[in-house]
Amino acid sequence: MASEASKERFDLRRLLASAENASPIAAVHVLAGELAESLHASHVSLLIANFSGDAVVRLSHVSAGAELRDGHNERVESIPLVGPYKRVLWSQQLEVVHDGDEWVALVPVSERGDAIGILELSLQRQPDGVTVEHLHAAAHALAYVLIASRRHTDLFEWAQRDIPFSIAAEIQRRLLPSAYTAEGGPFTIAGWLEPSHSAGGDTFDYSIDREHLYASITDAMGHSVEAAMLATLTVSTLRNSRRLLASPLEEANTANAGLKANARDDQFVTGLLMRVRLADGSVEVVNAGHPLPYLLRAGEPVSLPLRTEAPLGVQRGSYDAQAFQLQPGDRLLLITDGYLERNAARIDIESVLVEGRARHPRQVVQELARNVLHVTGGKLRDDATAVCIDWFGPSGTREATGGASRARATDLSDSTSPLAPR
């Protein structure tokens, strides 16, 4: 049977071994070659989501002697995030497109809900159920290969940059978590930072241990390198405290003392530091001069009666820890004041939350970023950052995707949307 033959051809262990034996730069290319051979694909490539969130990029190698791009033997093809590419990346569902004499499978490459990119394969026939299972497994393996390989090379980072980074932007990016999205049983968290032209001091961060989800969002005063350096001091102090299992109150007091000791008297950082107990959804929070979070409960906005204290670096004495309770189905949104300044304030954040209540947190924070770019004409006066947390509750867990949701072959649509030339 064709399915049994396909099953015998596909060997995940061989795929991973081939990637491991290749150099970090070639690992993805080698894995693609193995897939092409095992599935008789005429074309296999990885499309990586760019940093702006509006395109995917295909990275390919140019042979020696060919025309080089800016002196490099790598070529980036940027594909606008529209049509099937957008649907696959946003929905995290595999899609098959009939393109001439071939069937093109677009498979989301994800790890715990973090949408890394799309695996694109050209096949001679529409994939059956067994082949679809193989494609999901291969895309999931590819996500881990890419995560492991990029620790050793700048190649993938270079491909994702549609515009050059300033020094301040480079510093700022190093302060963000390596994955902007994480799905972990009772919760999903996603963040997005839309930088201003001069790169302000916004950051967001999160971490998960056995008992808690830690999340923070901070905004260092000023712009450019000065703000980035102040943010570096703050985030490094917060992470150091967190890794000593400090509570949000202890984190805030330590960061406040660190800023007073090492920053100028006129420098400060606003921040919202929180810790969610995974067993019951109880939240500890410290609000250091930061905009209040938004809470969506049963699809409707609900006010959180939280006090606002002085920013980090200004507070005299200890902060006060506050508490509130999350209920299954709640959505929590944290923002920086880049969403509240002048033209940006025209965005009705509560309406965006209500209208997008069925969307993934990853989609919510990116939609907010697109809105702020639209209303400001792309000229942000300050960074605009958002963190969205969905709470499902310990007994109402939603299975983490760990890649694409598994669709049956009978569920695959024959889309006629145009594809980018390969």
Dihedral of alpha carbons 116, 91, 85, 39, sign: positive
Residues spanned by the domain of 204: 185-391
- Whether 365 is covered by a domain: the verdict is yes
Is residue 287 within 8 A of residue 309, CB to CB? The reply is yes
**Alpha-carbon gap, residue 160 to 7, rounded angstroms:** 34
Tokens of 325: 């309770």
Is residue 407 within 8 A of residue 94, CB to CB? The reply is yes
Write down the pTM of the prediction: 0.88
Same domain, 199 and 150: no
Same domain, 86 and 118: yes
Same domain, 195 and 327: yes
Is residue 35 within 8 A of residue 121, CB to CB? The reply is yes
Same domain, 322 and 295: yes
CATH number at residue 17: 3.30.450.40
Same domain, 144 and 201: no
Same domain, 140 and 190: no
Element (H, E) at 214: strand 212-220
- Give me the pLDDT at residue 398, please: 60
CATH number at residue 362: 3.60.40.10
Same domain, 329 and 213: yes
What pLDDT digit, counting tens, does each position of 350-392 carry?
Answer: 999 999 999 999 999 999 999 999 888 888 888 999 999 999 9
**Could you tell me the mean pLDDT of each successive run of 10 residues in the chain, 422 residues long?**
49 80 86 85 90 85 44 71 93 92 94 93 92 90 90 88 85 94 94 86 96 97 94 98 97 98 96 97 98 95 95 96 96 95 82 92 94 88 94 73 35 53 68
- Give me the pLDDT at residue 290, please: 97
Is residue 120 within 8 A of residue 106, CB to CB? The reply is yes
Tokens of 277: 């107990």
**Alpha-carbon gap, residue 263 to 271, rounded angstroms:** 16
**Structural domains in the chain (count):** 2
- Whether 176 is covered by a domain: the verdict is no
Rg of the chain on CA atoms, in Å: 23
- Whether 13 is covered by a domain: the verdict is yes
Q: What is the DSSP string of 293-314?
A: PEEEETTEEE------BPPBTT
- Give me the pLDDT at residue 8, please: 46
Burial 183-208 (b: 16+ CB within 10 A, else e): bbebbbbbbbbbbbebbbbbbbbbeb
- Whether 171 is covered by a domain: the verdict is no
Question: C-alpha angle 69/72/78, rounded to 5°?
Answer: 55
Q: What is the DSSP string of 342-398?
A: GGGGGS-HHHHHHHTTTS-HHHHHHHHHHHHHHHTTT--SS-EEEEEEEE--TTS--
Q: How far is CA 254 from the centre of its chain?
A: 28
Q: What are phi and psi of 388, to 5 degrees?
A: -115, 130
Tokens of 415: 């889309």
Q: How far is CA 105 from the centre of its chain?
A: 23
Same domain, 377 and 410: no
- Whether 166 is covered by a domain: the verdict is no
How far is the CA of 181 from the CAs of 34, 89, 113, 359, 402, in angstroms? 29, 13, 6, 14, 12
Is residue 282 within 8 A of residue 219, CB to CB? The reply is no
Q: Maximum Cα–Cα distance for the chain, whole Å?
A: 75
- Whether 86 is covered by a domain: the verdict is yes
Same domain, 330 and 384: yes
- Whether 169 is covered by a domain: the verdict is no
Same domain, 87 and 213: no
- Whether 177 is covered by a domain: the verdict is no
Same domain, 66 and 205: no
Same domain, 365 and 329: yes
**Alpha-carbon gap, residue 199 to 204, rounded angstroms:** 14
- Give me the pLDDT at residue 9, please: 55
